[in-house]
């Protein structure tokens, strides 16, 4: 088996504080892999600029001018992490045999790349980078993250526990991913749907090199909700089941009230009536909101708007810019 052309796909949004260090470490890693014959000399580090408002794109351009090991993909607009990652993967697909996606803050362990390539050489089409533990997280972060994965599984989403977007995908897997045209992207759930041969590599996640996380609590909650509603219709089914349960309880309460009336122990139930009305009113609003979320997703899907637009692609293997 010939050595593969590897592309490291790294989405970037306002990463000027970490980009120089990230570029240096990835360049050293890729150079070593080329020197030992682990990957082809045409391998590249592809930074994807997701509409950054700082100097991220200028730094990426400087990297491509300094070394042929770097590629730059500049999106025309900020599209979000998942769309930026997909844009990078699909843009390099014609030139790569294997891709490994990772975050720009290098919290993902770059030394796990060697083991990923070994798993691929042994026949795996997809290799998931999975956190060995969450010892470096605060209790709240660890509790909410693990609860998210458990909730996703409970709601019917087939996701890999403690896996984010640090993964290897070969050309066959990427070609299969291209067949999933949905606008509401949640790659952590879509990639396992592909199937194919897959393996897991465990690693220890590090602290950010610099700067702040691009996923504060509000965005994490939004991302979790996006994942649930993109991958599963179970929340709607749960509303139906809850409605049937409440109807059953209401029937029992009706029988109980009639029985109390005939034995002469009728009690004025003002409090229970008000509480019931508030409860049912809140449940109705919640149900409408959940259904509305799915309707909104249908609305976005049927419009078939492009998920991203590549404004510029700098890559020697692509023979120039486009």
The full set of domain ranges for the chain reads 6-231+305-321, 234-303
- Joined together, the tokens standing for residue 293 give 């979320």
pLDDT at res. 238? 72
Strand partners, 200: 128
Give the 3-state DSSP-derived string for 137-152, with helices as H, strands as E and coil as C: CCHHHHHHHHHHHHHH
Residue 274 clears pLDDT 60, i.e. is over it: no
pTM: 0.74
Q: What is the pLDDT of residues 188-238, one digit of tens each?
A: 888 988 989 999 999 987 765 555 555 555 656 666 666 666 666 667 667
Q: What is the pLDDT of residues 50-86, one digit of tens each?
A: 999 999 999 999 999 999 999 999 999 998 888 999 9
pLDDT at res. 225? 62
* C-alpha–C-alpha distance, residues 89 and 47, integer Å: 11
Query: CA angle, corner 17, sides to 148 and 31, nearest 5?
Result: 90
Q: Is 47 left (phi over 0), alpha (psi -120 to 50) or beta?
A: beta
- What pLDDT band is residue 322 in, cutting at 50, 70 and 90? very low
8-22, 36-50, 165-179, 197-211: least confidently modelled range: 197-211
Question: 218, 260 in Cβ contact below 8 A?
Answer: no
SS3 37: coil
Highest mean pLDDT among 36-40, 147-151, 215-219, 279-283: 36-40
Would you identify the CATH topology of the domain 6-231+305-321?
Spore Coat Polysaccharide Biosynthesis Protein SpsA; Chain A (3.90.550)
- Joined together, the tokens standing for residue 191 give 């990639």
- What pLDDT band is residue 164 in, cutting at 50, 70 and 90? confident
pLDDT at res. 321? 47
Q: What is the pLDDT of residues 113-154, one digit of tens each?
A: 999 999 999 999 999 999 887 666 666 667 776 777 777 677
In the chain, what percentage of residues exceed pLDDT 70? 69
């Amino acid at each position: 088996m010939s050595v593969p052309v590897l592309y490291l796909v790294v989405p970037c949004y306002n990463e000027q504080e970490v980009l120089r260090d990230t570029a240096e470490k990835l360049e050293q890693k890729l150079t070593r892999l080329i020197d030992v014959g682990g990957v082809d000399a045409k391998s590249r580090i592809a930074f994807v600029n997701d509409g950054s408002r700082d100097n991220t794109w200028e730094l990426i351009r400087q990297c491509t001018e300094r070394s042929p090991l770097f590629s730059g993909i500049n999106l025309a607009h900020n599209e979000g992490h998942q769309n930026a990652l997909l844009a990078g993967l699909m843009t390099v697909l014609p030139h790569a045999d294997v891709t490994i996606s990772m975050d720009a803050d290098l919290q993902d362990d770059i030394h796990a790349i060697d083991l990923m390539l070994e798993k691929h050489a042994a026949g795996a089409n997809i290799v998931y980078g999975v956190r060995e533990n969450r010892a470096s997280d605060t209790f709240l972060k660890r509790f909410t993250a693990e609860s998210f994965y458990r909730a996703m599984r409970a709601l019917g989403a087939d996701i890999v526990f403690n896996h984010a977007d640090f993964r290897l995908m070969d050309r066959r897997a990427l070609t299969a991913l291209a067949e999933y045209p949905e606008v509401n992207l949640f790659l952590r759930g879509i990639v396992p749907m592909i199937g194919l041969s897959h393996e897991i590599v465990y690693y220890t996640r590090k602290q950010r090199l610099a700067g702040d996380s691009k996923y504060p609590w509000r965005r994490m909650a939004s991302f979790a909700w996006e994942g649930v509603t993109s991958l599963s219709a179970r929340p709607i089914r749960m509303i139906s089941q809850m409605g049937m349960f409440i109807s059953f309880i209401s029937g029992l309460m009706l029988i109980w009230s009639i029985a109390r009336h005939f034995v002469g122990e009728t009690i004025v139930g003002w409090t229970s009536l008000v509480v019931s009305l508030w409860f049912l009113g809140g449940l109705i609003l919640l149900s409408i909101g959940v259904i509305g979320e799915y309707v909104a997703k249908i609305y976005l899907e049927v419009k078939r708007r492009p998920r991203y637009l590549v404004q510029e692609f700098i890559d020697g293997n692509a023979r120039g810019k486009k």
